[in-house]
Amino acid sequence: MKRRILALASGAFILGAAEFVMMGILPQTAAAMQVSIPAAGHYISAYAIGVCVGTLILVFGRKVPPKNLIILFMIIALVGNTLSAVSFNSPMLLAARFISGLPHGAFFGTATLIAKTLADKGKEAQSVSMMVTGQTVANMLGVPAGTLLSEMLSWRLAFAILAAWSLMTMVLVIAWVPFVAPIKDAGIKGQFRFLTHAGPWFILMAVFCGNSGIFCWWSYISPWLQKVGGWDSSMVPLLMVLAGFGMVLGGIAGGRLTDLWKPGATAGLSQAIATVGLLLVFFVPGNLVTTAVLTFMIGFALFFNSSPQQLLMVQAGEGGGELIAGAAVQIAFNFGNAIGSIVGGAALTATAMNYHYTGLAGAPIALIAVIMLVTYSRRYETHTGATERMREVHV
């Protein structure tokens, strides 16, 4: 991996770990803050709401060089994770999680633009997928490590390490990421012009519904593994590694398939896999093997669609709206996370904490994402665009 993409991937790692680590440490955090498991799900929602609000940074920072924006986002991540580590009550942790989420969507919109701009011709999606790999590696290594630290020492230590990693990433970005000119200044209104077309709305609705469905289950994966699968709490970090490994493979596969095929169709395939996985969560009796397989399967699907969706939206925003369009994916992603967490929590409350029903609650919502992407592909992807993306080869 080129150093400039590695620096961006390091930032993606921070934000991916900050977002997803809460799923692995939810029981310990709930106990420390003296709230119930469904109530602790609000810590996930607070981060997601921060993602949505943080996009305003791009609205007013459109004239700032993308590299400088990345540095700003890491400073905010440093502050948010530090406050999370020292939170002494539930309201403070909610506020800290909100701050931690502020740079998330804006970062991925900006980092996608940088990765696409610096990529070799014909490898734009792969470049974006390698940047996003930082987020998937966070799920494979960072989240399990945070879960293990929570089991052995303290959940606070996980956030303290993320704060230190944010500082290190700032140094890497300063040293390795080259200057990229700011996007065309189309004005505040011009940044949102892409939303006047129907195509981007299909993508955004698919992202929202797909993640709402998955997070009905994923938000409560730690207790699900223990209650349904019969896993001991000490084994949950290992299962998080398995899920993260699926995400890494999914992210890489999605990037490669996107460069060869249709981005919308690739994302639709991913959402279909997730829908099947959620149905299996409900219908398949829980044991060690089935829960492990489903953890890997849905983890794979969750990031299989990441690079095609990011790339589609950045392309849709060309002409001054690239950053907002790229960030919009993460807004839809995290808004879906927030709603999914709430819906999943409601399903648990309504069924006396029957964790099978998190899958049943999520599957119909994920199916809507499949329909959206199939419709988008049939309407807009009449050809693969492979010829236009071919690289010139000198012999």
**26 vs 93, which has greater pLDDT?**
93
**357 vs 62, which has greater pLDDT?**
357
Type of residue numbered 290:
T
How sure is the predictor about 216, in pLDDT bands with cuts at 50, 70 and 90?
A: very high
pLDDT at 391: 52
pLDDT at 68: 93
Task: Name the 3-class secondary structure at 15.
Answer: helix
Mean pLDDT throughout 300-328? 81
**Which of 69-83, 180-194, 274-288, 291-305 is least confident?**
180-194
Q: Is the pLDDT of residue 305 over 80?
A: yes
Superfamily per CATH, domain 1-185:
MFS general substrate transporter like domains (1.20.1250.20)
Angle between helix 104-118 and 66-86 (nearest 10): 150
**Which of 75-84, 254-263, 317-326 is least confident?**
317-326
**CA pair distance 91, 68, nearest whole angstrom:** 31
Mean pLDDT throughout 320-340? 81
- Average pLDDT of the residues of the chain: 85
Superfamily per CATH, domain 186-384:
MFS general substrate transporter like domains (1.20.1250.20)
Mean pLDDT throughout 45-57? 85
**241 vs 102, which has greater pLDDT?**
102
The dihedral sign for the CA sequence 186, 310, 276, 262: positive
**182 vs 380, which has greater pLDDT?**
380
Is the separation of the CB atoms in 47 and 19 below 8 Å? yes
Residues above pLDDT 70, as percent of the chain: 95
Q: What's the burial of 352, exposed, middle or buried (CB within 10 Å: 0-12/13-18/19+)? A: exposed
How sure is the predictor about 253, in pLDDT bands with cuts at 50, 70 and 90?
A: confident
Q: Is the pLDDT of residue 186 over 80?
A: no
Q: Which of 76-80, 85-89, 242-246, 308-312 has maximum average pLDDT?
A: 76-80
**CA pair distance 125, 123, nearest whole angstrom:** 6
pLDDT at 385: 52
**Which of 192-196, 295-299, 315-319 is least confident?**
315-319
Radius of gyration of the chain (CA): 20
Mean pLDDT throughout 257-275? 88
Cβ partners under 8 Å of residue 227, min gap 6: 286, 353, 355
**36 vs 166, which has greater pLDDT?**
166
Distances (CA, A) of 62 to 67, 106, 114, 188, 318: 12, 11, 14, 9, 13
Neighbours of 118 (CB within 10 A): 16
Mean pLDDT throughout 186-198? 81
pLDDT at 330: 78
Q: Is the pLDDT of residue 395 over 50?
A: no
Is the separation of the CB atoms in 202 and 373 below 8 Å? yes
Domain with CATH 1.20.1250.20 in the chain: 1-185, 186-384
Mean pLDDT throughout 369-394? 71
Q: Which of 133-137, 147-151, 253-257, 318-322 has maximum average pLDDT?
A: 253-257
Q: CA 129, 209, 320 angle in degrees (round to 5)?
A: 55
Task: Name the 3-class secondary structure at 340.
Answer: helix
